[in-house]
Chain A
């Protein structure tokens, strides 16, 4: 399969804790993107990391990419109830974006 696989499928944490989710893939990529989807705002782009980058930050988000292991992780620090959503990794290579099945994150206040 060309799609990424997120792990875990579901994650429940307390507000203020950090959340880490992972994405593994099997194909070559140009970049890897993370998206968030909740009922209120639909699917929103969070961060893009290129294949020659190892780490990227955006606010409370930290993404790492290990192309030798074909894996990426998304860390959300100091989580808030508003972070409750599904998070998808999407692979960009020679074909249009391929999304995984997502990690469902619940942040409990």
Chain B
């Protein structure tokens, strides 16, 4: 399977702990996106990369969130000092063209207790 993969699929953590998620995009895609989705809402843009460069971050993204794509391949999203409001599905997507169709991974469901 050469689709977008995410790990872990589920994460339960206690408030105040740090968590890190990984995304492996489709290998030919140089653009990688992170979204957050809560129940009954559409995906909300967090940040995106073109190769290893982080080109845009949502203004809604707090300083507790950081993302990297060190070699322009896989990406990690870290949330420090998690809060209950961080509970959501975190989706990763990749694309070949800017503004083109995006291919989504299965998501990582985060529950903060």
Please report A residues at the B interface, Cβ cutoff 8 Å.
3, 30-31, 33, 42-45, 48, 88, 90, 92-93, 95-102
In the complex, B90 has a CB within 8 A of chain A = no
Report the interface size for chain B: residues with CB under 8 A from the other chain: 21
Segment at the interface with A among B11-19, B37-45, B61-69, B74-82: B37-45
Report 21 cross-chain contacts, Cβ distance below 8 Å, ordered by A residue.
Answer: A33-B101, A42-B104, A42-B105, A42-B106, A42-B107, A43-B43, A43-B91, A45-B102, A45-B103, A90-B42, A92-B100, A95-B45, A95-B56, A96-B45, A96-B48, A97-B102, A99-B35, A99-B43, A100-B42, A101-B41, A102-B41
Residues of chain A with a CB closer than 8 A to B41's CB: 101-102
In the complex, B85 has a CB within 8 A of chain A = no
* Chain B 85-113 per-residue mask, 1 if CB under 8 angstroms from chain A, else 0: 00000010100000111111111000000
